[in-house]
Every structure is written in structure tokens, then in C-alpha cells.
Structure 1
Amino acid sequence: MKLAIVTAYPPSKVTLTEYGYYLVKHFRLQPEVDELILITDHTSEEKDLNFEEGGCKITVAESWDFNSYTNIFRINRTLNRTKPDAILFNLQFLKFGDKKVPAALGLLLPFICKVKKIPCISLLHNILEKVDLENAGFTKNKVLQRIYGFIGTSLTRFVLASDVVAVTIHKYVGILEHKYKAKNVIQIPHGAFETPPEPNYALPEGPKQVMAFGKFGTYKKVEVMIEAVEKIRERTQEDIEIVIAGTDSPNTPGYLADVAKRYAHVKQLRFTGYVAEEDVPVIFGDSAVCVFPYTSTTGSSGVLHQAGSYGKAVVLPNLGDLATLVEDEGYKGEFFEAEDSASLADAIEHIIIDDANRILLSKANYRAACSLPMSTITQMYMDCFKAIQQKTADFSMLDVERYMEKDGVKA
């Protein structure tokens, strides 16, 4: 099979870059895949394709740019030239741009693949029905939010033209089936990026690192974490370093620079900037706890799965989708009320002053991450592609559920 994957890819700064990397890493090891066509955005540096294992041929086709109005035409030309046997889209609603027209045009691509009769799966990391449009950077205007909701509903119908739409949270299946009467939606879990050897859960010498990882500025706001740690410092003798690992969200350029300026008086506050893939294990490995300073959620969390892979305790906002994911996939953490620094301070403190609790949570998260490695997730997608090509009526829905039951995940 010649499989095309449309995704952002390192060193791109576009959303879902890390997930794209691990999709490629594991699809290339699937025995049915003879060639991977990586349809990705343009970057000034070379793509990170230095995998240690063998694998199939990878053809890189840089075919789009964030916020370009011509992405749909350029990707279509790439499909005409490369002629893939099947295609996987790694999507969310701001995948192709934070400007409304480029973002919308990119989401028409699954429909175009359907017209071209290319077997197509769209992995949809979020659905508009569960996105806070204000926090996600769309608009604060309530009238415009209703307009974007209507547009989003229309675009969702184009994505649902895919042969299969995969979502990572089971609740999303019911929402799409009920609202759109869709019959081609399944849950395929997010999966763990890596499954390193089990750590010894000891912390390095020096201050305990309280770390947040990701792209910040829209629904990920680090101010509450900084203020929470300051509260802990006031009432304990703990030596704590605050680590902000990552970059601005494409929607909020300059956000972290502004935070650094406003909190310049705070001691032991470190901004790492962009974290290259090879440096991710160090960032997580040195941390005592990984904090999710989210004001809302937009679907499954890749950072949660990374934290689990490296055996880290986590502090999570008590928000619907994230709480559902934690319950469904077996992760454990301390919870806090979103945007409440006092609540967050209590949650962090419960971990960093109680080593037994930290290790208990860390071990649970490592077990949860290891239960669904990306090798299993990519096999689920391969089974779906086989069912599409064989025109199986229910596109192997029962097979996917069996995978999930086998790996101890609620279906």
C-alpha cells in the first residue's frame, strides 16, 4: 500500500506536529505499507526522519503553508502526482490556519478525496461542538460565535464525507452520530507516543521542577501556574523551579514574551522555547510534576500521553473532556478548578511534598500509557483501511472495539 498522511511535521510549529511524527514513525513499520507519502507544510529546516529502526520508503511532499489560501489546490496537485492508495488526515479545526478562510478550505480536503475515490480516514482531534470558540482564539463576539458554529457544522459535514472519521474520545462518537446522523464515526484512542523502559521515579538533585508543556496563549494559560507556585513558596520551604516548555500558539504570537516580562520578578522561572523531539525525554524526565493549566479543552491531550510514557504525575483541570479521557484510559492525577490559582496550588503541593503520592500517580500513568502504544493504534487504522478497500459494511467497527477491550480500554 502507498499511504499518504496529511499532517504538520517536525520542525513545523503548527498544531499536531508531535502526533504527526509518531504516526509516521509507526506507520512506516506496518508490513502492509510499502511507501509513506508525507504531505506536510513547508519548513525552513529539513524534516526529522532519522528513525533508528528500518521501515518503508518515505517520500516527503511539502505541499502547504499555515494560513495559505491555496493549500487545497496544492495538496490536490500532490495527490494527483503521487497517486496514493489511501490517505489519512491528522486534523483539528485550526490545522491549516488561524484565519477563517484558509482553515475552512483545508477541511474540504476529505470531501475532495471522496470525490477522487481515494480511501480516506480523517482523524479528528476535536469537534466544534466541544470547542470554546473564545478560549480557542476564534472570537469573543457572541454573534460571530453563532456564525462560526454554523460554518463549523457545515465543515464537519465535509469531514464526515471521509470513509471513516476517527475520534479519540468515545463521547464524540455519540455527538456526531446524533447531530449529523453519521454512520462512519469510530473511536480510536490517542495512544502513547513512546513506551520507554519503566523509570525508577527518582527525581534529579536540585529544585523540584513544576513543568507545563505545549503551545500556549489560547486555552493554555501559564499565569495561573506561576501564581500557584508562588503561593506554595509562601507557605512551604520547598525549592521549586517553574518550567514553561514550548512556544506560543499560532493564534497568540508574543504571548510567552509578554508573560516573561510581566513575571520577571519571579525567581526560578524558566522558558525553554521550542523543544526538539530529542530533548522531550529530558524535559519530562527532570520534572517532578506536569501541570495542565488549561481554561478549556479541545479534545484528547497528547501531553497527557507523553507524561504517562515518561512516568510523571500530573495535575489536571476538572474539565469535562479531559476528565472523561482520564477515566476512560486509566490515567491518574490531582485535579483543580480551572483558572483558580489557590486550587492549583493545593493540587501541586499534594504531589511535590508527598513523594509516595507522586510515585503512585506516576506508576499509574506509566501503566496507562503502555497499555495503548502507537504500534497498536496504527494497526487499528490499517484494519480500517483494509475494511474500506474490501467494502466491509461496518468498516471493522467490532475489530476496533476488540482491540480496545484487549488493551484494557473502555469501548
Structure 2
Amino acid sequence: MHLVIVTPFPPRVTGIGQYGYHLSRALARSGAFRRITLLTEQAPHRPPRERWEGLTVERLWRRDGVAVGGQIALRLRRLRPDLVWYNLGASVFGRTPQANLSGLLSPLLGRLAGLVSVVTLHEIAELADLRALDVPGGPLVRLGARLLTRLTTRADVVCVTLRRHADWLAARYPDLPVVHIPHGTFDTPRWLAETEGPELLIFATFAPFKGLELLLTAFRQLRLRHPRLRLTVAGAEHPRFPGYLRRVRRAFGDLPGVRWLGYVPEADLRHLFARATLVVLPYTAATGASSVLYRAATWGRAFVVSDLPELRATVEEAGLQAAFFRCGDRESLVATLDALLAAPELRTAQARHNYRVVAAHLTVEATCRAYLGAFRRALILRHGVGALVPT
């Protein structure tokens, strides 16, 4: 059986790309497919075609190109796979609405070509605070959000990482087969003991809505009570906001105790989280489940989280625990961080609970098995109970 995966993929650093990277590798290791081809965007200094972890990576389209959907559809017609998995978000194909509209047409074009398809939607634009996310499009942005939902649900089965998204889609499209697959962790769970010296970590793809400036002002206030406290700022910029990190660093460059790391390679992430006492998600807007929460839980780190619907859903649906603060409220953030910095027993209790939950139910192997179930369902819906299905 031949599976084609359409996904963003390293070296570009995105949450959805990391999800595609880890799940593709897990699917290749599962032995369920005779052949796996991964279609992704072109990258500097990378060949157009290469073997990786038992599958073939084809770097097909150019980011921000307006013909992406046609390129994907044409390649799929030539490959004629048994199944296509699209790993998608609203902005995975570029910075412009035109590029993303083109790319997000590909599930519909594949369906018209008779291909069996499964789509993973990491975000539903209609449910997001588009103004807080600074989404381009002016007065037509809401219409565009509805159009994106229609386009990306043209599949045999749609997977989402939040139960609230599954419930919303089921109410909007009663005949659409929807599967909730919790985001889960990418890494093998390992309990890491706290290191000496208190340290906060923010790890993100940085944009104005990630709350970095809010955290920096809170950190300045916390240093008055915790003079040894450090803050590590790790992660690359969001492609829609070039220069954002440079401007923030210039504004807060005189603040002592801050480490600015920029992009951190996948291989160094465990060490990055090992240094942290608390992981902070001070976001002022969010579109879906957070992989950072799962990484923190995987390595035994407690987290402080903005009380946004998507982040609360990530925590509660998975049975995790978090310390929430009022979104955008500096004093609430300071008080919540201060309380956990002063109470190691509270940090440890939260971290141990989350570690046990992730290790028991939310590993990448468990996520892979859930996808194999979704793939089987799509094939049976299209071809009947006698269909050849991955096992």
C-alpha cells in the first residue's frame, strides 16, 4: 500500500511541520505501508528528492507560490497512491492568502481525481480571533475563513487535535466523518530532575500574539523578588512577522538575566527544557493545540498558561494540569509565576501528574495507531469492508 503525505517539513521550523516530521517517521516505522512518499516545499541546499527514515521526500512547491494546489494535484495524479494524508494549517503554504488558498485547494482537487484522503486540521480559522492573530484580508477575512473550512474538509475523513473542534465540525457538517486524535508528544517521555537556579522558558514560533513582551515585563517585575531568576527565549520567528524578534530584543536589551537563543535544533530541545524550572505560554491568541505543553509534560516540567479556549482545551481534554492566568494580564501572570517559583512541591505535583498521563496515553506510537485507524476508516468508507487497509 502506497501512502502519500502532504505536509510542511524541516528545515522550516513550524509546529505543524514538526508534527508532520514526527508522525511521518512513526508511520514509516510502523511497517503498515509498502511505500511512503512525502510531498513538501522546496528548501535551500536540499535536493528535490531524497530518502529519509525509510520514506521518499519530494520537495515539490515553492513557498508563497500561487500554483501550489495544482502542483500537488498533478503530482498525486502521477503517483496514484492508495491514500493521501494532508497535514494542514491555515498558513502552511506561505504568507499570502493567495498562496494558502491555492495550497488548501489540494484536498478538493485530489478528491475530484478519485483519491482517498485524510486531512488533519490543526486549526479552524472560523473559531480563531483573527484580529488578535493579525491575519491579513481586511473585511473579507471572515468570508475567507469560512471558505478555508469548506476547502479543507473535502476529504473522506477529517482529523482534529482538539475535541472542541471535532464537536464544532460535527455540528456544522453532520455527514462529515470526524476523528479526534489528541496532539500527543513527539519524544520518548523521560523525567528530568530540576537543575539549580530558577529559570523560565518560553519556546515558540514568535509573533506578536505569543505574548513575549508581556512575559518580559512580568519577568522584570519578578526579578525584584527573585534576583537569581533567569529567562530563556527560544525559537524562530513566525514567517509572517520578519524582524519581530529583533525589535523586541532591542526594546528589552538592557534587561538582565535574559538568554536569547533563537532557533534551537530538535536534538537540543531536551537540554533546553532540562534547564527550565517553569515553561510559560503567555499567548494572547491561539488557533489550536499546543505541542509545547506536551513537550514540557514529556520531560517533567510544570507550565503556566494563558487562559485561552484552545489552551484550556489542550490541557483539560488530555487530562493534564496547568496553572492558568488571565489572558493578557501582567499582574495575574506575575502572581501565578511567583506562587509556583515559591512552591517546588506544587511544581512537582503538576509535573508528575502530566508526565504519567503523557507516558501512559499520549506517546507518538499511540498517535500513530490512531492515524492508522483513521486511514482504515477512510479506505472502508470509500471501498467497502473488503478494502485493503493498513495494519
Under a length normalisation based on structure 1, what TM-score does the superposition of the two structures give? 0.88
1:36 and 2:28 matched: no
Residue 131 of structure 2 corresponds to which residue in structure 1? 134
Code of the aligned partner of 1:107: L
2:15–2:291 Cα contact (<8 Å) kept: no
2:70–2:102 Cα contact (<8 Å) kept: no
Give the secondary-structure state (helix, strand or coil) at the position aligned to 1:43: coil
1:85 and 2:82 matched: yes
For structure 2, the residue ranges without an aligned partner over 5 or more in a row are 386-391
1:22 and 2:5 matched: no
Q: What CA distance in whole angstroms lies between the structure 2 residues aligned with 1:20 and 1:286?
A: 27
Q: What CA distance in whole angstroms lies between the structure 2 residues aligned with 1:134 and 1:326?
A: 24
Q: Deviations over 1:329-355 (max 9, x none)?
A: 121121111111111111111222211
Code of the aligned partner of 1:132: D
Q: Deviations over 1:234-285 (max 9, x none)?
A: 1x24411111110111111111100100001100211111111101111111
1:4 and 2:4 matched: yes
1:93–1:103 Cα contact (<8 Å) kept: yes
Choose the corresponding residue for 1:158, options 128, 151, 155: 151
2:199–2:229 Cα contact (<8 Å) kept: yes
Residue 202 of structure 1 corresponds to which residue in structure 2? 194
Q: What CA distance in whole angstroms lies between the structure 2 residues aligned with 1:259 and 1:170?
A: 35
Q: What CA distance in whole angstroms lies between the structure 2 residues aligned with 1:263 and 1:197?
A: 34
1:256 and 2:235 matched: no
Residue 391 of structure 1 corresponds to which residue in structure 2? 381
Q: Larger deviation: 238-247 or 71-80?
A: 71-80
Residues 1:345 and 1:353: Cα distance change in structure 2 (over 3 Å):
same
1:93–1:126 Cα contact (<8 Å) kept: yes
Q: Deviations over 1:355-396 (max 9, x none)?
A: 11111111122122222111111111112222222237999x
Code of the aligned partner of 2:370: M
Residues 1:237 and 1:379: Cα distance change in structure 2 (over 3 Å):
closer
Residue 141 of structure 2 corresponds to which residue in structure 1? 148
- 1:221-300 equivalences under 5 Å are 221-234=211-224, 236-300=225-289
1:342 and 2:331 matched: yes
Q: What CA distance in whole angstroms lies between the structure 2 residues aligned with 1:393 and 1:181?
A: 21
Under a length normalisation based on structure 2, what TM-score does the superposition of the two structures give? 0.92
Give the secondary-structure state (helix, strand or coil) at the position aligned to 1:242: strand
Code of the aligned partner of 2:34: D
1:174 and 2:167 matched: yes
2:93–2:100 Cα contact (<8 Å) kept: yes
Residues 1:300 and 1:394: Cα distance change in structure 2 (over 3 Å):
farther
- 1:183-198 equivalences under 5 Å are 183-198=176-191
Give the secondary-structure state (helix, strand or coil) at the position aligned to 1:287: coil
Query: Identity of counterpart residues, as a percentage?
Result: 27
- Size of the alignment, in residue pairs? 382
Residue 403 of structure 1 corresponds to which residue in structure 2? none
Give the secondary-structure state (helix, strand or coil) at the position aligned to 2:211: coil
Q: Larger deviation: 368-377 or 121-130?
A: 368-377
Residue 406 of structure 1 corresponds to which residue in structure 2? none
Q: What CA distance in whole angstroms lies between the structure 2 residues aligned with 1:247 and 1:50?
A: 26
Give the secondary-structure state (helix, strand or coil) at the position aligned to 1:323: helix
Q: Deviations over 1:286-345 (max 9, x none)?
A: 111110010012011111111111111000011112112211112112111111111111
Residues 1:271 and 1:394: Cα distance change in structure 2 (over 3 Å):
farther
Q: Deviations over 1:106-159 (max 9, x none)?
A: 1111111111221111100111222111222214x8xx34x2211221221121
Q: What CA distance in whole angstroms lies between the structure 2 residues aligned with 1:163 and 1:87?
A: 10
Q: What is the RMSD computed on CA atoms of the aligned residues?
A: 2.1
- Please list every run of at least 4 consecutive aligned residues from structure 1 whose deviation after the TM superposition is greater than 6 angstroms: 392-395
For structure 1, the residue ranges without an aligned partner over 5 or more in a row are 396-411
Q: What CA distance in whole angstroms lies between the structure 2 residues aligned with 1:263 and 1:313?
A: 26
Q: What CA distance in whole angstroms lies between the structure 2 residues aligned with 1:211 and 1:197?
A: 18
Residue 373 of structure 1 corresponds to which residue in structure 2? 363
Code of the aligned partner of 1:71: V
Code of the aligned partner of 2:20: G
Code of the aligned partner of 2:276: S
